[in-house]
């Protein structure tokens, strides 16, 4: 349990393992971040403790060393490789934001691996010229960690959340290194132009789609499109943020109910 590393052929992936090992397996796929979410492992375990009482939980990071050209499909292949290396033959999966894109590709490539899937604040297609993602990439290229964090938090979270945490954001910026910004650019770039709209029509897995009408990162029509294409159940919030998975008290209980009903 805790943070561990799995070797897959010529690379390694770090992951967080927690929960009840006697229960069905649930994989969490995190979204794009400026530093590894595993730096917040204790907070993640606390946040998902309700699910951890009912599932054997795994949260996979991206591979350790990435190069420009690393795609969403590569991220999906890496995660599948890590799961295979751990001798796991059946999972449930919950992907948020970019993690939801990875989960979609995993379901396309290995449908028999996935029992049920939850997708939150994500899309099956992204404009290659998406202004929000492009702006983040350009700021990261400027090596301006404070500016990137401010832009990121203001778009991803509600204004109330940002105002309550803006002092912490300023402190956090001091710990962002140039290599973090370079990695962020590599991981953010493949979001632009991502498109599996036709492929996901073939997916026949019980799916829950979660989204907010006030999401400033993923347009709400993308959520509606996923619900339609996947014939999915849905949790739609009127006034939450892109990071409804962090902010909304409804998110985790809804996931729990969905996965319990499909296991």
Residue 1 pLDDT level (bands cut at 50, 70, 90): confident
Find tokens 């350009």 and name the residue.
138
Query: Is the confidence at residue 156, as pLDDT, over 90?
Result: yes
CA angle 19-22-26, nearest 5°? 50
Considering only CA atoms, which of 139, 241, 231 is closest in space to residue 182? 139
What pLDDT score was predicted for residue 3? 94
Query: Is the confidence at residue 167, as pLDDT, over 90?
Result: no
Considering only CA atoms, which of 150, 156, 134 is closest in space to residue 217? 156
What pLDDT score was predicted for residue 162? 87
Stretch 53-68: mean pLDDT: 95
Residue 161 pLDDT level (bands cut at 50, 70, 90): confident
Residue 94 pLDDT level (bands cut at 50, 70, 90): very high
Torsion over CA of 108, 20, 248 and 114, rounded to 10 degrees?
Answer: 10
Query: Is the confidence at residue 82, as pLDDT, over 90?
Result: yes
What CATH class has 2-126+196-261? alpha beta
- Across the chain, where does the E strand assignment appear? 2-8, 11-19, 25-29, 56-63, 91-96, 114-120, 207-212, 233-237
How do residues 184-231 score in pLDDT, each as one tens digit?
999 999 999 999 999 999 999 999 999 999 999 999 999 999 999 999
Fill in the DSSP letter of residue 95: E
233 class by beta-carbon count within 10 Å (0-12 exposed, 13-18 middle, 19+ buried)? middle
What pLDDT score was predicted for residue 117? 98
d(CA 253, CA 148): 32
Q: How many percent of the chain have pLDDT more than 90?
A: 90
């Amino acid at each position: 349990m805790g943070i561990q590393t799995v070797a897959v052929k010529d690379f390694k992936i770090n992951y967080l393992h927690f929960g009840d090992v006697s229960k069905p397996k649930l994989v969490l796929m995190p979204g794009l971040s400026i530093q590894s979410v595993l730096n917040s492992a204790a907070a993640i375990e606390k946040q998902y403790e309700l699910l951890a009482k009912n599932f054997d939980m795994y949260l996979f990071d991206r591979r350790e060393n990435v190069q420009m050209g690393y795609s969403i499909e590569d991220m999906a292949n890496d995660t599948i490789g890590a799961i295979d290396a751990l001798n796991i033959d059946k999972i449930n999966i919950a992907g948020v934001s970019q993690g939801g894109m990875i989960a979609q590709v995993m379901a396309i490539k290995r449908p028999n691996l996935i029992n049920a899937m939850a997708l939150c604040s994500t899309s099956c297609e992204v404009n290659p010229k998406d202004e929000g993602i492009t702006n983040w990439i350009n700021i990261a290229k400027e090596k301006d960690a404070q500016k990137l964090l401010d832009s990121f938090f203001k778009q991803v979270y509600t204004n109330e959340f940002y105002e309550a945490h803006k002092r912490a954001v300023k402190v956090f910026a001091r710990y962002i290194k140039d290599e973090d910004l370079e990695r962020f650019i590599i991981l953010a770039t493949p979001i632009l132009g991502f498109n599996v709209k036709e492929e996901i029509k073939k997916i026949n897995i019980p799916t829950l789609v979660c989204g907010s009408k006030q999401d400033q990162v993923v347009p709400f029509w993308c959520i509606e499109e996923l619900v339609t294409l996947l014939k999915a159940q849905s949790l739609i919030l009127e006034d939450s943020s892109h990071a409804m998975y962090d902010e909304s008290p409804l998110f985790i209980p809804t996931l729990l109910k969905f996965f319990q009903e499909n296991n």
